[in-house]
Amino acid sequence: MWKDRKAGGELLTFTVITTDPNEVVQPLHERMPVIIPERDYDRWLKSDPERPPIDLLRPFDADKMTAWKVDKAVGNVKNDRPELIDQIQLRAGFDCEVKVLCPDVAALSREVSVRHRFRRN
């Protein structure tokens, strides 16, 4: 546990573990978060320290993911509207975010946003 030195209380923290990208994320970024499938939650959370489940540190199955273009406003934390993740039509040279959806993963790990600039060919 991490402790706040000034307040003395525990700090709630997390770490994003990354891996190589799968076929969906690779065109957008050189790495992606490790996504633990729901069926493996217990293996991950209750693992034996002598046999850690390192086999779960792999790219998520690309066949279970979908990506679409969304407005770049999704990248600003001040914006919080459901329509920000609606698919948009894209023109060359337009900055946007790409939303990646993993439908069979618990809600907290479900969406990953990656900034990407689309350029004219």
| pLDDT tens readout for residues 10-44 | 888 888 999 999 999 998 889 999 999 999 999 99
* Residues β-bridged to residue 117: 95
Mean pLDDT of 53-66: 92
pTM of this prediction? 0.62
Between the CA of residue 70 and those of 17, 63, 98, what are the distances in Å? 25, 20, 6
| pLDDT tens readout for residues 61-113 | 999 988 888 878 888 889 888 888 888 765 555 555 555 555 444 443 334 44
Place of tokens 């060359």: 92
Between the CA of residue 75 and those of 26, 70, 81, 104, 114, what are the distances in Å? 19, 10, 12, 24, 9
| pLDDT tens readout for residues 39-51 | 999 999 998 889 9
Cβ-based burial of 35 (10 A; exposed 0-12, middle 13-18, buried ≥19): buried
**Nearest by Cα to 64 from 104, 110, 113, 109:** 104
Between the CA of residue 3 and those of 13, 14, 15, 45, 54, what are the distances in Å? 10, 13, 16, 22, 28
